[in-house]
Structure 1
Amino acid sequence: MSTLCPPSYSPSSASPSYSAVLRPEEVCLTRTARAHHHRATRVLVLDHESKSCPFSAAFLHQHDECEVPTYGRGDAVDGYIALHNTTGVVSVAVKLIGQTQLSTGSGGKHTFPFLQYNFELWHQETAESAAPDHLDFVLPLPTHIDDNGVERLLPSSSRTMFSGPYAIVEYAFKITVSTRGLGGVFKKSHSLSTPITYVHRSHPPQASLGRDESFLSTLKVAPEEWMLLETTVPQASSTSTSPLSCTVALPASRIFTMPQPIPFHIQLTGSPDVLRQFLPSSGAAHVVRSSSTLDHDDRIHRSGLSSLRPRSLSPPTRSPSSSSHRIQHSHTLSAPSTPYTHLHTLPAFQPTASQTSSPFSSPLASPGLLSPDSLHSASSSRSSSPLPLPEDDVDAMLQVGLHRRVTLSVFGDRAWMVKKLAPEATLELTQCEPDAGWLAWSGTIVPSSDSWSPASRIGGLNINDYISLEVLRAKRGRMSRGVQPHSYAIPVKLVTDPFPDSTVVTSLDEHELSGLGLVF
C-alpha cells in the first residue's frame, strides 16, 4: 500500500517585531491598564496595659500611615497571636464585627450588625498537644453582604456627625483567650479588641480627561467622553419670555477619583434679555467663584464599640523582618468627625420625564430637580450671607458644587444631612453670545479628600454623592427679571484610586488626525 506524503508548504514569513515605543508615524490611541500591587510590610502590635493579660497580637501588611489595622476590598485580616504563657490555656478565638449605628436625633437609635465572624483558632478538647506559643489567623473580608435579602457591597468605615443625629459604620477585631482558674475548674477569659478600618478601594473604568483639556478640544475627537444633561430654568409667571434651557456636560462615566479635579461645561440658551442678567454691566467675560466653602465641626462623639488601650511593650517574640508599630487608639473609635452643614426632613428627587429617559452609561441614579432647601439650611440663609459678586454687578449667577447626602431611617424616623465635598468651584465665561441666544461657561470642581470615605448603602443608611447646579439671584434688594431660583442634582460616584498607570486621554491635533484619516 502506497503512502501519501503531505503537500509541501512554503516557508512562513517571520513574525513582526513589536515594541512599546511609538514610531514617528504612530499615535497611541489607548493603553492597557496595568495595576501595580505593593505589599505593605509594616506590623501593628496590640497588647494590654495589664501584665496579667497572657497574650499580645500583631497585624501584618499595614501601610506606614495607618494607626489602626486598615484593609481594602478583597483583603484578609491576617496576623498572629503570641501567648506569653501557655499553661492552662483552654481556647483561643477571634471575632470580626461590622455594624452601623444610626440616630436621627429625635430619640430613634438603632444598631445594625451586618458582619460577624467567629473563628476558634485552638481548643483544648480538639487539640492533640498543648497550646502553641504562636497562632496565625487569616480572616478574608467578604466583598458583598446580605442586607435583608439584598446583596450589597461591604460598606466602608465612615463617621457622620451633626449635633444630635449621627451615622457610624465601624468594624472591630476581638481576640479572646480562655484559661483555667483556681483549681483548674473555673474558666477565665482575657480579651483584646481594636477598631479596624475598611475602605472599599476602586478606580474609574477609564482614564480621566486631562485637567488642561477643554470641552471643545475633546468633544470633536472623543464625543463619547462627555455626557450632556438638560434642565429647564423656570421663569416668573409675569414674564412672557421662554424658559431658559441649561445644558451641562460632564465626563460620561460620572465616576471620579478623589481628589482629582472634575471638569464641566455649562451652556444657557434663551431670550437675550434674560441671558444678559448673567453678565456684568460691561458685558466682558469674567470669572465667577463659588461660595461653597467647607464648614468645620469639632464635636467629639462616642462610638459603641470599645477597645482597650495598648501598652508600650515589646512586640511578640516572633518578629518578622518588617518594621513594627504599636497601635495607638482611644477607648472609642477615633475616626474624625465630618462637617455637615444642616439637617432637613427628607425630600425626594423629582426627575422630569425627559430626564428619566436620558441614556446613562453607568448604573447611577438619574439626575433630578432639588428644592432650594436641599442645599442650604434655614439657619444659614442666603440673605444673611450674600454670594460674592464679580467686580461688575450681575443680577443672576450660576453656582456649581459637589455634595454628599446622608439619609437616615430609624424606626420610621427619617432625616438627611448634606455635606459640601468641594471647597470652591470656579466658572469661567468662555463664550458670550447673548444676542445669539446663548452663553457658555467652563470650569472644574476640586474635591477635598479630608475625612472622606466612599459612599455606601446598608440598612437604614444611604450615602449618595452628586454635583449640584444652582441658578441664583445674585442681586440683593432687586428682583431679577424673570429668572427664578433653580437647583439640579446629577448623581456621581467618587472612588479612591486613579485609573491604573494614571493614563490621561488627550486630544489630537489636526496633523495627527490627518494621519488617522479622520476628517471634521
Structure 2
Amino acid sequence: MSIATPHSAVLDLPSYSPSSSAPHYSPEPSEDECRLVFVARKQRDLVPTDVFAKKAGGVTLLISGQDSGVVVPTYNRNGIVRGEVLLDDEAAVQSVSVKLEGSQSTSIVDGGADLVELFSESLTVWSKPRSDIAGPSTLTPPAVLPFAIPFPKGYGEGQSVKPLPPTFNAQFSGTHGIYVECKYILTVTVTKSGLGGWKRQKLLTTPVSFEPRSRAYMPIGRDLLPFFSTIKSAPGDWHQVISKMEVQPKSTLEPLECQLFVPAVQIYAFSDIIPFHLHLRGSRASLASFVAGPTPVFKLPKGIKALSSTLKLGSSSRTSLDSSSSSFMDVLTPQVSPVGHDSSNVRVYLLRQVCVSVDGQKAWGEIVLGEGKISPLSSTRAAGTDGEYSLDWEGEVRCGSAVSVGSFRSGELVVKDFIVVELKPPVGSPSPLKYHRHAHPIRLVTDSCSDSL
C-alpha cells in the first residue's frame, strides 16, 4: 500500500497565454461611431508666469502666477496665493506673517449697515525662536521668505457654508441709495523689536481680486437669425417670453401682446452676442395707436400684417416653445414687403439688479449692462380684416466690456440679471397705451460654452 505525499498531490497549474493589448481609445468617434452626448469644455488656459510686485517701507511683496501687467492679483475658485516676501533690513526682525481676509459690506441710506467677515487666514512665514527673543541674538530671517495661502471653499460653518462672493462693488444714489462691496485683502506684517522692549510693525497691504469662473451647460446656437427661418427648423433653440402692454383704464382699446424670443439656454457669457426677436400683436386699432399716436388709424401703416383671429398662443408669461404647436407656426410668415415702422419706442437691453437687506429693510439698484441693437422687419398682410395684426423686430445684445462679474447670491446680497423689453407709447398727446417694461431673468457667466476643446 502506497501513501501519497503532500508534494505529489499538488496539481500542475494550467498554462496562461499573454493578454492581448488594450484597444486604442480616441476622443474622436470613428467613421462607424457617433456621439450621443457631448458637452464642450473650455481649453485650459496657459498658467500665467508673470510676477506682481509691490514695495512699501522696506518690505517687498512678490506674487507669482499672474498675467502680464496686472494691477491687482487675480484668482479663480480654489486659488492659492503664492509669493515671496523680501526685506531691505533684516536686523531686529522678530516675525513675518501674511494674512488673507475677505469681507462683505452693505449699507442703505437711513437704513443701517452690515459688515460680514467672510474669512481670515493667517500664516507665520518666519519667527525668531522664543529662546532668542528675550536676549540679544544675531539670528535674522532668510533673504527670501516664500508663502502660500489658499482661498477657502466658502464661508460660514457646518451646513450653512456659502460660496465666496466675487470681488464686487456697486453704489446707487437716491433716497434709498445703497452701497455694496465684496473685497479681499492680502496683508504682510513685519514685526521688529524696538527700544525698551517695544515692538514696531510695518504693514504692506494689497487688494486681491477673486473672480470665480462659470460657464453655460450648452451653447446659444449658431445662425439663429433670421428668426423666421430657424423657428420652423429648430424651435427648441428659442425660448418665448410673453407679456402685455396694458391700456389706460378708460380706454376702449385692447392690450397688445408682446412676445420676446431669446436663445433657449438662457445662460449667457459676457462675450456672447445674444440674438433676439420681438413680436408685437393685437387689434389694428391698438397697433395703430402704438405706431402713429393716440388717434386710431383704421388704415394700417405698411409693415403690419394681419393674423387670423383663430391664432392663439399660450397665456403663460414664461414658456418654452412647443415644436408641435401648429398655430404657433402659422404666425411666422416670411417677410416680403417694405417696412413702415421704426424702433424709436422699442428697446431691448441687459439689466442688472443689486438687492440688499439690512436689519429687515430691503433696497435695490439697477445697472444697464448692455444695449440691444434692434431693427424693424418687413412683413406680409394676411387675408381678412377682422383678425389680429403684428409688428416684428429682431436684433442682438451683449454685455459691455466693463462687466467681469456674473450673477451671484451671498447672504443678504443678491445680484440678478435680466433681459428687458421696453415699449413706450408715442410722444405727444396722452396715449391710450401704458408704458410697458418686462424683465425676464437670465444668468450671466464668465465663459462661453462655445469655446472649443
TM-score in same-fold range (> 0.5): yes
Q: Which has the larger radius of gyration?
A: 2
In structure 1, what is the equivalent of residue 122 of structure 2? 118
In structure 1, what is the equivalent of residue 110 of structure 2? 106
In 1, the alpha carbon distance for the partners of 2:23 and 2:116 equals: 61
Say yes or no: does 1:469 pair with 2:442: no
Greater relative contact order (CA < 8 Å, ≥ 6 in sequence) = 1
In 1, the alpha carbon distance for the partners of 2:111 and 2:39 equals: 54
Q: 1:131 aligned to 119, 141, 150, which one?
A: 141
In 1, the alpha carbon distance for the partners of 2:24 and 2:202 equals: 68
Q: How far 1:241 sits from its partner (Å)?
A: 5.5
Q: TM-score, normalised by structure 1?
A: 0.65
In structure 1, what is the equivalent of residue 45 of structure 2? 37
Match of 2:451, SS? helix
In 2, the alpha carbon distance for the partners of 1:27 and 1:143 equals: 35
In structure 2, what is the equivalent of residue 345 of structure 1? none
Please identify, of 84-93 and 394-403, the stretch whose mean Cα deviation from structure 2 is larger: 394-403
In 1, the alpha carbon distance for the partners of 2:278 and 2:36 equals: 30
Say yes or no: does 1:192 pair with 2:196: no
In structure 2, what is the equivalent of residue 47 of structure 1? 55
Encode CA deviations 1:124-162: one digit per residue, 9 max, x unaligned. Answer: 347998532222221122343239974433212122123
In 1, the alpha carbon distance for the partners of 2:217 and 2:41 equals: 10
> Kindly tell me: are residues 135 and 267 of structure 1, through their superposed partners in 2, closer, same or farther at Cα, counting changes over 3 Å?
same
* Aligned pairs, number: 396
Conserved? CA contact 2:290–2:426, under 8 Å? no
In 1, the alpha carbon distance for the partners of 2:51 and 2:24 equals: 49
Q: 1:219 aligned to 212, 231, 240, which one?
A: 231
In structure 2, what is the equivalent of residue 171 of structure 1? 184
Say yes or no: does 1:419 pair with 2:367: yes
In 2, the alpha carbon distance for the partners of 1:85 and 1:474 equals: 73
In 2, the alpha carbon distance for the partners of 1:215 and 1:471 equals: 20
In 1, the alpha carbon distance for the partners of 2:38 and 2:376 equals: 30
Tell me the percent identity: 26
In structure 1, what is the equivalent of residue 439 of structure 2? 489
> Kindly tell me: are residues 271 and 176 of structure 1, through their superposed partners in 2, closer, same or farther at Cα, counting changes over 3 Å?
same
Q: TM-score, normalised by structure 2?
A: 0.73
Structure 2: state its 5+ residue gaps: 1-8, 133-138, 293-299, 305-314, 322-338
Match of 1:470, SS? strand
In 2, the alpha carbon distance for the partners of 1:127 and 1:270 equals: 88
Say yes or no: does 1:144 pair with 2:96: no
Match of 1:275, SS? helix
> Kindly tell me: are residues 274 and 28 of structure 1, through their superposed partners in 2, closer, same or farther at Cα, counting changes over 3 Å?
farther
In 2, the alpha carbon distance for the partners of 1:147 and 1:245 equals: 49
- 1:1-16 matches, within 5 Å, as none
RMSD after superposition: 4.2
Q: 2:347 aligned to 399, 406, 409, which one?
A: 399
In 2, the alpha carbon distance for the partners of 1:500 and 1:394 equals: 33
> Kindly tell me: are residues 150 and 484 of structure 1, through their superposed partners in 2, closer, same or farther at Cα, counting changes over 3 Å?
farther
In 1, the alpha carbon distance for the partners of 2:148 and 2:286 equals: 65
In 1, the alpha carbon distance for the partners of 2:158 and 2:428 equals: 51
> Kindly tell me: are residues 137 and 18 of structure 1, through their superposed partners in 2, closer, same or farther at Cα, counting changes over 3 Å?
closer
Q: Which amino acid aligns with 1:140?
A: P
Match of 1:144, SS? coil
In 2, the alpha carbon distance for the partners of 1:431 and 1:134 equals: 73
In 2, the alpha carbon distance for the partners of 1:86 and 1:36 equals: 41
Encode CA deviations 1:35-89: one digit per residue, 9 max, x unaligned. Answer: 22211111111211x4xx3x31101111124112111222211111123343332
In structure 1, what is the equivalent of residue 265 of structure 2? 253
In 2, the alpha carbon distance for the partners of 1:127 and 1:429 equals: 84
In structure 2, what is the equivalent of residue 375 of structure 1? none
Q: How far 1:473 sits from its partner (Å)?
A: 0.4
Q: Which amino acid aligns with 2:274?
A: I
